[in-house]
Amino acid sequence: MNNQSRMPLVEALQSHIRKDTVSFHVPGHKNGELAGGQAGEFLQYDVTELTGLDDLHAPSEAIKEAQALLSDHYQTRKSYFLVNGSTVGNLAMILGVCEEGDTVFVQRNCHKSILNGLKLANVNPVFLHQEFDEHSATSTGISQGTLEEALKTYPDVKALILTYPTYYGMVYDLKSIIEVCHSHGVRVLIDEAHGAHLSIGKPFPVSALKWGADIVVQSAHKTLPAMTMGSYLHIRTDEINSKKVELYLGMLQSSSPSYPIMGSLDYARHYIASYSNDDLDYFLWNRKDFINRLKEAGYHVIEGDDPLKIMVRLPGLTGFQLQEELEHKGIFTELADPYQVLFVLPLLKQDDPFPFQKTLEKMTEIRPGSKSDKPIFFKKYKNITALRFSFKEIEKKTKEWVSLEEAAGKTAGEMLTPYPPGIPLFYPGEEITEESIQELKWLMAHGARFQGEHLLGEGKIRILL
Ligand SMILES: Cc1ncc(COP(=O)(O)O)c(C=O)c1O
């Protein structure tokens, strides 16, 4: 059972394909016959719950075995493949742990899937506001002081939901936070979308699973070689009702889960479980060399806590401008903010080639600009905030467009999210503060893009009456 060199689902898929079968089943491309050429070859793996290929919603063969290997690698009580990203994992995690009306602490700079989960579960969220790291100019996590303050005001809180590590690869003292929560009987739910690779160990940060979180969701597709949407959900402690989490996974995930995604999840677990010290040395050497040469070319490189992420700046250019220049040269980064672009480095294994040299040659051609913006930190106006109304009340309320000048003090009527990173700036039911309007204006002036219904072009946002 513990043979991490095996890939049960990948093997079952390969054995099925070798059989030279005729498809009278879904999907409609019929083993790729209707697609032809290379697409057809690729689609051969896109099968369905056929004999020997198991069923994600009632696993008893290859998927069960593959999930057991996943659980063994991450040292969990139970682990699951997800085919709709950490998005579905976050929804199932919240619905599986929280009951309607529960008070739940949530790190404010969380992904919108967490906020959507809170709404679906109809809980009472209390937002704990994050700290800032001046070096990387990014938001990090909550402080223990904020948590302790919140525990005094809301002693009957059920759970705490945090993002760890952040999109930029920053971590914070999660160990102490989990210890405090557990000593108060509060369950800890972690969105570890950016941390599926942390099981490698040092010099990567410690995973929330190791620090003792109760339930953890990871986007395997973000940092491991898994297909987009491929993610994992891990239950670590007995405090979590696995049957309830499974019930929601069954309700929220497709009844026709993608075999290529699931196969890639099996492969990604195998990849990380077989990551050797030599692989790590090779990755770290390439990373250091890349960083040194970027610095020689005039770039500023900010190293966060996670060695897989680096933030890159070029004097005189905003992050958005640098991103545009890079894209003209065919270099696509994970995201840009007003100061920098974020590179997610490849988790290379020994002797894997990667076009660092070509990248450096192209990046050397980009010239510094003339703009010089110092990082601005929008001060927190409070450490802890709650919604002004319940989710049900918010749904019934009338909404109105108002100009940004008149919005301070009013209640946000729409979720407005700079994307990436997908962390809402305004959330329905929350007080609109002068600080958040300043931040919005500043992001707009620096070229940020926004998701959510808005009339920002006309300088308006929606409020609740
Ligand atoms: C912190 C965080 N959580 C959750 C998600 C959603 O993950 P997925 O894309 O796997 O659905 C993201 C996506 O960017 C994220 O950054």
CA-angle at 342, arms to 171 and 269, nearest 5°: 65
Nearest Cα neighbor of 200 from 275, 264, 271, 265 is 275
Question: In the prediction, which pLDDT does 422 show?
Answer: 67
pTM to 2 decimals?
Answer: 0.93
Q: Measured in angstroms, how far is the CA atom of residue 416 from the centroid of ligand 1?
A: 17
Residue 462: alpha-carbon gap to chain centroid? 27
Q: Which of 111, 194, 218 to mutate to test the pocket of ligand 1 (most atoms within 8 A of CB)?
A: 111
Strands (E), 90-244: 103-107, 124-128, 132-133, 138-139, 159-163, 187-191, 215-218, 231-235
- In terms of Cβ atoms closer than 10 Å to its own Cβ (0-12, 13-18, 19+), residue 435 is middle
Q: Tell whether the torsion through CA atoms of 390, 395, 398 and 399 is positive or negative.
A: positive
Question: In the prediction, which pLDDT does 449 show?
Answer: 83
Q: Across the chain, what does the average pLDDT equal?
A: 92
Residue 400: domain span: 387-464
Which of these three, 273, 305, 328, is where a domain ends? 273
Is the pLDDT reported for residue 36 higher than 80?
A: no
Q: Measured in angstroms, how far is the CA atom of residue 451 from the centroid of ligand 1?
A: 15
Is the pLDDT reported for residue 379 higher than 80?
A: no
Question: In the prediction, which pLDDT does 341 show?
Answer: 95
pLDDT, greater one: 372 or 414: 414
pLDDT, greater one: 103 or 318: 103
For 115-136, write each residue's pLDDT tens digit: 999 999 999 999 999 998 889 9
Is the pLDDT reported for residue 447 higher than 90?
A: no
Q: Measured in angstroms, how far is the CA atom of residue 122 from the centroid of ligand 1?
A: 21
Q: Is 8 a member of any domain?
A: no
Q: What is the average per-residue pLDDT within 294-321?
A: 95
Report helix angle 85-97 to 242-252, nearest 10.
140
CATH number of domain containing 239: 3.40.640.10
Q: Is 336 a member of any domain?
A: yes
Question: In the prediction, which pLDDT does 87 show?
Answer: 98
Residue type, 114: I
For 152-165, write each residue's pLDDT tens digit: 999 999 999 999 99
CA neighbours within 13 Å on the CB side: how many for 289? 12
Question: In the prediction, which pLDDT does 169 show?
Answer: 96
Residues 254 and 318 in one domain: no
Is 87 close to ligand 1, i.e. is its CB under 6 Å away?
yes
Mapped onto helix, strand or coil, the DSSP state of residue 339 is coil
Question: In the prediction, which pLDDT does 444 show?
Answer: 87
Gap between the Cα atoms of 125 and 387, Å rounded: 7
Is the pLDDT reported for residue 371 higher than 80?
A: no
Which of these three, 273, 297, 331, is where a domain ends? 273
Residues 160 and 239 in one domain: yes
Is 103 close to ligand 1, i.e. is its CB under 6 Å away?
no
Nearest Cα neighbor of 270 from 8, 18, 16 is 8
Q: Is 373 a member of any domain?
A: no
Residues 131 and 245 in one domain: yes
Is the pLDDT reported for residue 411 higher than 90?
A: yes
Mapped onto helix, strand or coil, the DSSP state of residue 10 is helix
Q: Measured in angstroms, how far is the CA atom of residue 232 from the centroid of ligand 1?
A: 12
- In terms of Cβ atoms closer than 10 Å to its own Cβ (0-12, 13-18, 19+), residue 60 is exposed
Sheet containing strand 341-344, strands side by side = 300-303, 309-313, 341-344, 335-336
Is the pLDDT reported for residue 1 higher than 60?
A: no
Mapped onto helix, strand or coil, the DSSP state of residue 301 is strand
Q: Measured in angstroms, how far is the CA atom of residue 364 from the centroid of ligand 1?
A: 32
For 213-265, write each residue's pLDDT tens digit: 999 999 999 999 999 999 999 999 999 999 999 999 999 999 999 999 999 99
In total, how many domains does the chain have? Answer: 3
Is 422 close to ligand 1, i.e. is its CB under 6 Å away?
yes
Question: In the prediction, which pLDDT does 373 show?
Answer: 63
